[in-house]
Structure 1
Amino acid sequence: MRRWWEKWIAAPGLCPLCGSVHSAAVWAGIWDRLCSSCKAGLHQIRPPCCPLCGRSWPVPSLCGDCLRHRSRDLERNVGVLRYTSFPKELMRLFKYRGREVLAEPLGEMMAEALFAAGIRPEVVTYVPLHPDRMQQRGFNQSELLAREVARRLNLPLGSVLERIRPTPPQSRRSRRERMSALSGAFRLNPRSAGTAMDKKWLVVDDVYTTGSTLAECAKTLKAAGAKQVCSLTWAR
């Protein structure tokens, strides 16, 4: 008769993204636990890349967008993946189809990428939703990702930012329109007064598009006394 632990070790694992069977051990790293199909659809951002926004770039210097629109408050963004068709589908399932369980594998990828990038924040926070949007969706995907990142890096999670003004969907807006819509949209939670003083913060979001949202969050934290603000996104 096989002992219980032998059965557990021999049991096939399940891909954390699609649930299909694979042969990796349950304690293997996140990328080893993905099935071959999912792994083929995810394109990690590898050096060289822009040292500010984290996008793939032919040389390790600022990309054209960052040269023209560099944020004075956001020091650096780390992006895990290029935002191609499969990551877009996963994010749609996560945000709009109630697949909240995806927060765990996505957050694990993010924590691993941040550690590899050498960024060592002291506190983790996230891009907040406006209360109206929160009521419609029922959860904040950025908060779920931030909780997983903070847990895996053994860091405190601070819910310090509030979105005080609703903003329309930003995906089809130009950079100038985004910045105008987001100006003054965030504030420091009044209950968190003083918590941002002289600390290194990490702001977590799902996707970095133009960086306008993260730059505005960083501006709010720096105005409250943050020492440094970096960001981490699953896709770029």
Structure 2
Amino acid sequence: MFNWLSNITDHAQHLTRRLHHLLAPPGATCLTCGTRAILSSIYPGICPRCVKQIPWIRSIRCLRCGRGVGCPDCARLHMQNRSFNLNRSAVQYNTLMKEWIGMYKFRGHERYAPLLTALLIQAFQAMSEEQNSALAKEPPAPVAHPATHAHKPVDASSYPPHPRALTNAHAYPRAATQRPLSLPLQTKPQWRPDAVTYVPVSSERLAERGFNQAERLAAGLATAFRLPIVDLLQRQINTTKQSFKSRGERIETMKNAFSINRDGMQLIEELYRGFHLPTQKGMSHAKPIQILLIDDIYTTGSTLDACGRVILNAGFSMDLPVEIFTLTLARS
């Protein structure tokens, strides 16, 4: 009798689950809002409604830092000699992005990693197209150039561009250096960084989180575009959370916060020597090696500037011409 009742109960539960499955909306549960829907094939884990809420930086008003609104920082005289040529960011750092990044960065939700990397990949594609257009029109700008508030806004109506190269974006290998694949000859100048690196975290922060989010983003981007990724920097001191500090405090804190990883710099030198044959006396200098520096959030740019300055100084000491471009997930 008991077995008979148990079998009826199990059968009823099975029918209930089947009915719930048939009546439920198709698809899977959205990572960010919890809605059940057909998820995006481009932005892993989220529904079309959440895709529409991504706060892309669609119009760049500051050509130096990539901000979509007025930028008083880049208009300051002492900010005109930053170590990086320019920065570009994927999205505005609004409440939604703060939540997404926080879920991954502070709460360890690994499922956010492919989504955030996909956003960074879109920004890199737009950055590449912008640089290609600039190369087709005029020579590359020097490292230090005038404040950007006087420049005209970038025509970025197609920003972000149509997604490409997302096939391998979800792989996250540890940072390692590899030779770039040989590229076919191009009839037009094509911008492509020679190597990718990232802002390091302190040993204390690494032990606390278990990973470096900037390293993960850099690895995902490098994998998608087959770029060599190099461990160039190390953080000498734990600077504590920058989000609670004023602009002046951030800049002061970043002084002497980073040092160069000599092994990484030697690998950069090997890449450079491989790209450029020795120049003959009297000939123009070879093209500088271009390094793409990755971080998750750009606020004042003090962290990226400090990292870039350490790399430039190391390159100078080795008689190695270096240019630095920076790319971040979000811009505050």
Q: Under TM normalisation by the shorter chain, which class is it?
A: 0.7 to 0.9
| Cα separation, 2, equivalents of 1:149 and 1:229 | 17
Q: CA deviation at 1:153?
A: 1.4
Q: CA deviation at 1:172?
A: 2.0
The answer to whether the aligner puts 1:85 opposite 2:180 as a matched pair is no
Q: CA deviation at 1:223?
A: 1.2
Q: CA deviation at 1:85?
A: 0.6
* Of 292, 298, 309, the match for 1:219: 309
Q: Percent identity?
A: 35
| Cα separation, 2, equivalents of 1:40 and 1:24 | 12
The range that moved more, 132-141 or 219-228, is: 219-228
5+ residue gaps, structure 1, are: 1-10
Alignment of 1:60-209 (within 5 A): 63-68=71-76, 69-118=79-128, 119=131, 120-197=192-269, 198-209=288-299
Contact 1:123 1:201 survives alignment (8 Å): yes
Q: CA deviation at 1:140?
A: 0.6
Structure 2 CA distance for partners of 1:203 and 1:234, relative to 1, 3 Å: same
The answer to whether the aligner puts 1:55 opposite 2:67 as a matched pair is yes
Q: Deviations over 1:145-178 (max 9, x none)?
A: 1111111111111111100111121112122211
Contact 1:126 1:142 survives alignment (8 Å): yes
| Cα separation, 1, equivalents of 2:246 and 2:309 | 20
The residue type paired with residue 48 of structure 2 is S
Matched residue, 2:329: 234
Q: Deviations over 1:105-158 (max 9, x none)?
A: 211221221122225211111110111111111111111111111111111111
Structure 2 CA distance for partners of 1:45 and 1:218, relative to 1, 3 Å: same
Contact 2:60 2:66 survives alignment (8 Å): no
| Cα separation, 2, equivalents of 1:78 and 1:186 | 22
Structure 2 CA distance for partners of 1:190 and 1:131, relative to 1, 3 Å: same
Q: Rg larger in 1 or in 2?
A: 2
Matched residue, 1:5: none
Q: Deviations over 1:63-115 (max 9, x none)?
A: 32111123431111111111111100111101111112312121122122112
SS in 1 for 2:69: coil
The residue type paired with residue 234 of structure 1 is L
In the superposition, the TM-score normalised over structure 1's length comes to 0.84
Structure 2 CA distance for partners of 1:196 and 1:221, relative to 1, 3 Å: farther
| Cα separation, 2, equivalents of 1:154 and 1:167 | 32
| Cα separation, 2, equivalents of 1:64 and 1:105 | 31
| Cα separation, 2, equivalents of 1:211 and 1:205 | 10
Q: CA deviation at 1:16?
A: 6.0
SS in 2 for 1:166: coil
Structure 2 CA distance for partners of 1:95 and 1:25, relative to 1, 3 Å: closer
The residue type paired with residue 30 of structure 1 is Y
Aligned residues: 219
The answer to whether the aligner puts 1:30 opposite 2:43 as a matched pair is yes
* Of 34, 54, 58, the match for 1:42: 54
Q: CA deviation at 1:40?
A: 3.9
Matched residue, 1:6: none
Q: CA deviation at 1:180?
A: 1.1
In the superposition, the TM-score normalised over structure 2's length comes to 0.61
The residue type paired with residue 91 of structure 1 is I
Q: CA deviation at 1:188?
A: 1.1
Matched residue, 1:4: none
